[in-house]
Chain A
């Protein structure tokens, strides 16, 4: 076997098994960083040995065996006096058993995700932590996606892993009572990763969006009875289905209402609709189910011309009541512009104007500019569109806003 083939196999195994192996190794010790180090050494050993000796029949089991040797060696060096040898031996035996029955390597990824999204972990670090521990993304990649310096991201990841270990954050799936709230934090982290990937179209965004969807699928497969997990996966798939339609052949930005629905990905939309139906059948609607339902209504409206604006506005009312989020308020105003006209929508936006976070929130100014232009308030529209351009880091979006400015001058 060539070096290339060996590294390809190692990469494939890494993609499929990384999180599973980290989760399993870390579950007993709660030492995520130690598990990652041990696994990294195992992968390095694999890259050295597999080209010469061939890929083992069960790469997962092989990696787990090598990694656990590193891990117990390291633990023995650190804890000989504190932790009993017997306990270490027990752990090692357990992992050996698992390696011998690879189909039975327990999947602890969900428990690891719950640990990463634990309330004791800083909110903004939950998504980066999941991306690193479950998918093995580097601090550098995560830092670029989250617009943070790589050194800072590295330090924050180290600190967060330290917290899991030192604060005794448990590796388990919360019980029925605590599950909805804790699951919400996991879903929020995954969706935050998706949103980072959604914002960018041609840049480094798309791969991150794919990773987030992969995580969403993982949660649904591990918690098949939770409607909100399905709701969130549906929401991501509705958005992903429209990715290709968001640019015209010249690369220009195309808003939802002007997208060519023939460029929407039917397969992803069908999957989203199925997931949403299953989610809604299971009981009361949560935040992600409502957002997915709004996307479903947009699909019906654009594809079949169904008059779904009243439904969309009502869903946004409900969602706003649930979240009080300024982002939802913004989308809700846009929906009311279709029902009651731009002036009504601008009045809704005025309630947001006092929120300091709006000063550098690009979508707020873009929406304001668009609505003011429709309402014939040219000066307001001009000011808002200029601000939206200045706050945008996406060239296609900026060109789209320049066109709106031109139309304002000509109209």
Chain B
């Protein structure tokens, strides 16, 4: 089954720790290696900060474009992984190993196959 690990955290701190252009932190490099070796990783990327994001929605016949993410929260979505593991228990085990779990929150969502 596929699961998405959504990495939520304080993006100001995250971006200060590894600014754009810096090489990947050793913790993440090791985590990626481990997922690759275990054959569970489907994909995943880091996301640029929410200051570079826009939110779009169509209300009636009017298209609204707003700066930043739609909802203000303390933690922002900073990256994601998609993994393929037999069950939720194992998805949780991988989330616990994700470096961001120590200072942020990893949301574990089963992928709902639609195709």
* A residues at B contact (CB < 8 Å): 147-149, 152, 359-360, 386-387, 389-393, 395, 398, 402
Contacts and interface: CB of A to CB of B under 8 A. Distances in A.
Interface string B24-42: 0011011111110111100
Contacts of A360: 34, 38, 40, 93
Interface stretch (B7-15, B48-56, B74-82, B95-103): B95-103
A359 B88 contact: no
B86 to A, nearest CB: 12
B33 A147 contact: no
A152 B88 contact: yes
A387 B38 CA distance: 10
Nearest to B34: A390
A147 B35 CA distance: 18
Most buried by B among A147, A390, A392: A390
Nearest to B85: A360
B102 A395 contact: yes
Contacts, number: 47
Q: Most chain-B CB neighbours within 10 Å: which of A148, A152, A387?
A: A387
B11 to A, nearest CB: 21
Contact of A359 (B27, B30, B38, B97): B38
A386 B33 CA distance: 7
Contacts of B89: 147-148, 152
Interface in B16-73: 26-27, 29-35, 37-40
B90 to A, nearest CB: 8
Nearest to A151: B88
A390 B92 contact: no
Contacts of A395: 102
Given A360-B93, A389-B26, A390-B29, 17 more contacts: A149-B92, A359-B37, A359-B39, A386-B29, A386-B33, A387-B34, A389-B30, A390-B31, A390-B32, A390-B33, A390-B34, A390-B35, A391-B34, A391-B97, A392-B97, A395-B102, A402-B26
